[in-house]
Each structure stands twice: as C-alpha cells, then as structure tokens.
Amino acid sequence: MDEWALTLYVSISTVAVYIGLLLTQRSSVVFGLLASLILIYVHQHSLGVFVEGDLMTHVFPGFVLVLTGKRTMLSASGLPTFDWRLPCAVLAPFFLFFIVSQMIAQMFEPGHRGFKQTGHDMINVCCASLSLSFGSESLAARLGAKRDTIDALRVARASHDPLAIAAVGLILLGHQHDKAEVAVAFHTTQGYLMLLLAVVSVGCSAAHLSGAAPTGRACQFARALHAYTYLLAGSWLAQMGVFLYIFRNHRGLHHLLAELDSFGDPKPWEEVSIYLSVQTWICACVVSGWHVREHRRAGSSVAVQPAKEAIGEKRGGARGGEEAGALLGIEGERANGCNAC
C-alpha cells in the first residue's frame, strides 16, 4: 500500500471507531470497538509498515476522554463516574505500567531519561490518579460505604479532578514531545484545552454542590459544558495521533494534506487553528445530540421527581427532600446505563 492509501485506511478506521464510541452506550460494544482498532493497527504492521507507538498513545487516551465526556452527561453529581472495574482495574494499572516500563528502560539505556520523559511520567501519574477518582464512588459503594462517606468523597473529587487535569495541561504547554513546529502547536493547544477542562470542571462541581436540583436547567447546562470540554480535549488528542504519528518518521495525515497546499508555505499555527475550529464545531454538534437524547430518556425520571420529593418531605422535611433528590439522581444514572462502562 502506498502512503496515501495506508493513511486513509488508518484514518477512516479510527474515525469509524470514534463515531461508534459516540453513539453506543453498551460496554461490550465499547470494548469491541477498541479491540477492533487494535487489530487494525496490527494489520497495518502486517503490511510491512511500522506502527508508530505515538499513534496509539495519543488515540487511546483520547478515546478515554471521549468516553469520560459521555459519562459526565449521565452523572447526577456533575463529575464523571464509572463502574469501578474499568478505571481501577484496567486504566490505572495501564498508566502505571508505562511508568514502570520506562524505569526498566532506563536500567538498560542510561541516557533514555530527561525532562521529556519525566513529563510523560507525570502525565501518567495524573492519569492514573484520575482513573482511580473516576471509579472511587462506585468502589466505595461496592465496599458498603455509607452515604455520608460517598458524599465526602464526591466533595474531595470536586477539588482533586480539576487540579490533576490542570497539572497535565501545564506540562503540555511546554512539552517538547516532538520538536516539529506543527507538533508543538498541537501539544500546546492540548495543554490549553486541558486547562479549560479544569476550569469548567470546577464550575460544574460548584453548580451541583450548591444544592441545585440535578435535573434543573442550570445543572443540565453545566454537565453539557463539562462533557463538551472532555469531548473536545479527547477528540483533539486522538486527532493529533492520526494527523502526526501514523508513520515511524512522525508523519501522518497532516503532512499529506500540507503537501497539497498550493501556496507551498505551510504555516503550522494557521493550520492547527483551522483544525481546532472544525473540531470545536463537530464536538458542539455531538454534545447537543447527547443532551437531546438524554433529556428524552430522562423524561420519565423527571416526571416522578415531585412524588419523590413529597415522600422525602413526609419522612424528614427538607433533609428528606434532599435525600430523595439525591436518590433520584442515582436512579436516573442507572436508568441511563450508569454501569455501561
């Protein structure tokens, strides 16, 4: 296969899996899509073309961020919450494995480490910490923790998650993963997107911790905006992998498109800004679709909210109403596939 054919093969396959992840709610389908993408990359290798490791280390974490955005839309707390098995038993060990593997590599290659690799290690530590946070509420509930304990854990997450995300963003602002100007522009943009995600995460948590009803318009808007920033950051990271790292010599779809530029003088920041504007619009359309779909699915749950609150008031006044509202939020998540991932 020539360079164009192989690039289109990998790009279209990755986009197809991306679209599938946006549409599905079933965990079996999610794992099937990710497994199929791995097989596609292995098939690329079987064609005699080296699979650039940076392709997978950008695409797969990007897809995890996309899935996290979907979970945020379903969360009554405004924070992404997964069944503990995926983040605690799969994702956290996965990120920690990278750190250990790099330490082992250092033993056999003394000059392997540097600020660049230290940055990678710090990103993996933050990602592992976030993974454990995403599954902590589910794990606590599984271990029999009381409601007050889970509420305290949720408040702790409201500060931990955005700060860990901001730490990743700060690293990416000056990260020299690839010294090509277009790669620096991509990574710097990713850093700003992560910082934006951290700020929006704080605002979303504040809206939900203020006591506002999770089904109210303000909390719905906060969750949609939070989901959008996760989706945009994840989509941009996955796009970076396809556009820059399909081939061993750090070439991808972007380089083939740049060769078609009739001006013959590509300006990386101008190109990246166009890519970002397209991605911004696509993600806005996707989140709008998510919001409409979840609003329709939650219609029955919203309809029974007054009855739940009335029961709570009879049992314990205002506090009972709050507990019933919290219960409604949890039931809404379960009805919408809380354990889907």
Does residue 169 register a pLDDT over 80?
A: yes
More confident residue, 319 or 21: 21
Residue 71's nearest CA partner among 302, 286, 336 is 336
> Is residue 56 domain-shared with residue 72, that is, in the same domain?
yes
pLDDT of residue 41: 78
80-105, pLDDT tens digit by residue? Answer: 999 898 899 888 998 888 888 877 77
pLDDT of residue 309: 37
> Is residue 276 domain-shared with residue 322, that is, in the same domain?
no
pLDDT of residue 319: 41
pLDDT of residue 324: 33
> Is residue 314 domain-shared with residue 326, that is, in the same domain?
yes
**Alpha helices per DSSP H over 143-216:** 147-173, 181-209
Domain count, the chain: 2
> Is residue 47 domain-shared with residue 179, that is, in the same domain?
yes
> Is residue 220 domain-shared with residue 73, that is, in the same domain?
yes
> Is residue 260 domain-shared with residue 318, that is, in the same domain?
no
pLDDT of residue 48: 56
Structural domain boundaries enclosing 28? 3-297
C-beta separation of 65 from 234 below 8 A: yes
Residue 229's nearest CA partner among 206, 204, 200, 203 is 200
> Is residue 177 domain-shared with residue 278, that is, in the same domain?
yes
Does residue 329 register a pLDDT over 60?
A: no
Angle CA 26–205–291, to nearest 5: 40
pLDDT of residue 177: 72
> Is residue 201 domain-shared with residue 312, that is, in the same domain?
no
Does residue 38 register a pLDDT over 90?
A: no
pLDDT of residue 148: 92
pLDDT band at 120 (very low <50, low <70, confident <90, very high): confident
Angle CA 172–175–177, to nearest 5: 115
Q: Mean pLDDT throughout 9-21?
A: 90
Q: Mean pLDDT throughout 300-313?
A: 40
pLDDT of residue 110: 61
pLDDT band at 118 (very low <50, low <70, confident <90, very high): confident
DSSP state of 248: T
**Which tokens sit at 135?**
């599954």
> Is residue 316 domain-shared with residue 237, that is, in the same domain?
no
> Is residue 150 domain-shared with residue 247, that is, in the same domain?
yes
pLDDT band at 280 (very low <50, low <70, confident <90, very high): very high
> Is residue 85 domain-shared with residue 209, that is, in the same domain?
yes
**Which tokens sit at 308?**
């739940």
204-253, pLDDT tens digit by residue? Answer: 999 999 888 888 888 999 999 999 999 999 999 999 998 988 876 777 88
pLDDT band at 312 (very low <50, low <70, confident <90, very high): very low
Percent of the chain at pLDDT above 70? Answer: 79
Percent of the chain at pLDDT above 90? Answer: 42
Mean pLDDT is lowest, of 77-86, 152-161, 275-284, 291-300, for 291-300
- Taking the C-alpha atoms of residue 60 and residue 132, their distance in angstroms, rounded to an integer, is 18
Phi, psi at residue 37, to the nearest 5°?
-65, -40
C-beta separation of 64 from 80 below 8 A: no
> Is residue 159 domain-shared with residue 230, that is, in the same domain?
yes
